[in-house]
Amino acid sequence: MITAVHKEDQGGSKYHGYIIMNSVNLNNGKLYHSGNSELKKLAMHIYEVTGNYCKPENEK
């Protein structure tokens, strides 16, 4: 997994972050699946750590 954060004034937030991961488990070959509930949990975790709300791109 690779994570990156850079400064960018985008929609009131001063930072923009990326998470890049291999979606296939190397040990068993199973594909990782996620949906809106997982993205919302991640956004809440980011908020708890940084104090800034993170809105997933697919959320309107």
| Higher pLDDT among residues 40 and 59, named by residue | 40
Domain locations in the chain as residue ranges: 2-50
Q: Is 45 left (phi over 0), alpha (psi -120 to 50) or beta?
A: alpha
pTM for the full predicted model = 0.52
> What are the tens digits of pLDDT across the range 1-36?
888 888 877 666 677 778 888 989 999 999 988 888
| pLDDT for position 10 | 67
State which amino acid sits at residue 24: V
Q: What's the whole-number mean pLDDT along residues 43-50?
A: 82
pLDDT tops 60 at residue 40: yes
- Say which DSSP state 36 is in: H
| pLDDT for position 50 | 78
